[in-house]
Structure 1
């Protein structure tokens, strides 16, 4: 069948869109490896501190062995990259390999002077720069710390969640550091890890935390109008069927409203719902990320 001519502009748009996303990913990965190299060379390496995860393992091995850190970064992450190729995609593995190799080159060849000798500042800002590097790389569709790839794989085959596995992994890592290095370095390195993890969360999840809200009420249309026109947010009406209680069958065509708002807007939404129906049943739950719709765009999206 001959494709209509209108498909050509659509193909051009898709090509431009794909190209833009590719360049955006490359930019994020470059920023990521630069930020991570500053954290490593300017803060952590000169003072013998380390982080959690695969990067922390590389830094700990650099302290305990004569092997150069740039080589260790590549060697430690190779199993995670191979696992990522199986669990996710070849393109993910390729981008991650290039990001890790680029970071190793920067760590080996670029000299960054030690920025401070204060241990607290080293732990906090070293973690901040390293976490920024990991976060930007993830935004670019790659990893420079492969622990989460292993964590996802383990979570699929066991009862452990991703967070549980990463916590257990890092506890073991810090115990080894306390035994073979010293407990003070291990404690400061734990602070580095917390700083890095919070920075990664900030870059991945953004400044605003989104909530999904489901509303069940007989005054569906009024609440729907309030959300759309009063709050200026999108809302979806889902057909539902009650299954419990005396009033379960009184409204055979009842609807459940669903909308996504920021945490800053939830108080106003609940107040407005209560004005319309004080007995409305409202469910809230956190949402990791959103795209499209009437939600405000996040930075770095």
Structure 2
């Protein structure tokens, strides 16, 4: 990669980190916080602490994250921590800027849904471009390397206690709305990171791989790769089809396979991201 491309990619990265921080702050200050709905992690702790103490939320979100960032610098790496510092600084700044602006709605359900979506989109952009807004995610990444628990399970464990504590401060109805907002934000994060058309990788073992591959290319417009395999029982050489499609194309893919070989062995699994190659769909005329 040329120096110019690296600089342009770096500029793009920080533009999206800035955009993500702005959206996350807007989701909180325009919808969630005025209606006493909190987020999970350090942000949730900061919201409760700010409410009880009267100290501006932006100060809590910035200073409470510092120990985790120092820990993450030693355990995870410089690039991630620098991106996180930038994101958290921008996020804290925009929380302070947006705080005087009144809530856009007093309807608790609308605030939960739209606040969760906007917050999730913002956090999703930050994660997608290599940053983080929450120190608990850093702890989760490190613990994931040392335990059998996934990052998601560890974060969820932290957030159960944090979101439940909202019931003691704001009332149990607000705690339930906070949990709902959290799950909405979580789904929005998934969509931003994985894309609306979630990628699926299919591996197909059949005696009719040529016919199936030709149909996939002709009817779906997707690229196909042949992998060489050998059956352990019969010790016969077989071609294995590998192709990446979207979630919406799975049903059509299965119809193509069943049309050519009802006994084909098929596995389909999620793909978190797709880059390069010839995966982009060709126009079919």
Structure 1 counterpart of 2:187? 198
Q: Report the count of equivalent residues.
A: 280
Distance change (3 Å), C-alpha of 1:47 and 1:279? closer
Matched, 1:48 2:13: no
CA distance in 2, matches of 1:271, 1:45: 48
Match of 2:279 in 1: 295
Check conservation: 1:48, 1:63, Cα contact below 8 A.
no
Q: Helix, strand or coil: the match of 2:64? A: helix
Counterpart position of 2:104: 115
Q: CA 1:269 to 1:48, structure 2 compared with 1: closer, same or farther past 3 Å?
A: closer
For 2:6 and 2:185, locate their aligned partners in 1 and report how far apart those are by CA, in whole Å.
31
Q: Distance in 2 between matches of 1:97 and 1:138?
A: 13
> CA, structure 1 residues 216+95, in 2 after alignment: closer, same or farther (shift >3 Å)?
same
**Structure 1 stretches of 4+ moved >4 Å:** none
Task: Return the offset for 1:128.
Answer: 1.9
Structure 1: gaps (5+ residues) = 1-12
Q: CA deviation at 1:134?
A: 0.9
1:187 correspondence with 2:176: yes
Q: Of residues 242, 249, 255 in structure 1, which corresponds to 2:239? A: 255
Give the alignment partner of residue 39 of structure 1, picking from 27, 42, 51: 27
- Deviation digits for residues 172-208 of structure 1 (CA, Å, limit 9, x no counterpart): 1122222344212211211221221121112111111
Greater Cα radius of gyration, structure 1 or 2: 1
- Larger deviation: 256-265 or 13-22? 13-22
3-state SS in 1 of match to 2:202 = strand
Verify the 8 A CA contact 2:38 2:163 in the aligned structure 1.
no
Match of 1:75 in 2: 63
Aligned to 2:119: 130
Which TM-score applies when normalising by structure 2? 0.90
Q: Residue in 2 aligned with 1:175?
A: 164
Cα 1:236–1:52 change in 2 (3 A) is same
Is 1:237 aligned with 2:226?
A: yes
Per the alignment, in what secondary structure is the counterpart of residue 142 of structure 1?
coil
In the alignment, structure 2 segments of 5+ residues that lack a partner are none
Report SS of the residue matched to 1:254.
strand
The Cα offsets for residues 74-110 of structure 1, whole Å up to 9 and x where unpaired, read as: 1222233223323432121112101111221222234
Q: Quick one: distance in 1 between partners of 2:225 and 2:73? A: 37
TM-score (norm 1): 0.86
Query: What secondary structure, in the 3-state scheme, does the structure 2 residue paired with 1:265 have?
Result: helix
Is the CA contact 2:124–2:189 (under 8 Å) kept in the aligned structure 1? yes
Q: C-alpha separation between the residues in 2 aligned to 1:146 and 1:219?
A: 51
Distance, in Å, in 2 between the alignment partners of 1:201 and 1:224 is: 30
